[in-house]
């Protein structure tokens, strides 16, 4: 049973885009690894930019040029 956890910031992430991500990842695992789509689990975690750090700064700070 494949388990995929996608972590993204919520910017522009609509329910339709989430559904497309889930379907696309599921299909990719079916095609490339011959995994059963019925047992493939995909979870999308939306992480606010203040809660995501890169290089010692939050994503919010980095986007602001700080």
Residues recognised as catalytic: 2
- The three-state DSSP-derived secondary structure of 6-65 is EEECCCCCCHHHHHHHHHHHHHHHHHHHCCCHHHCEEEEEECCHHHCEECCEEHHHHHCC
């Amino acid at each position: 049973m494949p388990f995929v956890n996608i972590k993204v910031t919520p910017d522009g992430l609509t329910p339709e885009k989430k559904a497309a991500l889930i379907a696309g990842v599921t299909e990719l695992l079916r095609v490339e690894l011959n995994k059963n789509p019925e047992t493939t689990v995909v979870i999308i975690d939306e992480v606010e930019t203040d809660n995501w750090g890169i290089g010692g700064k939050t994503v919010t700070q980095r986007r602001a040029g700080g």
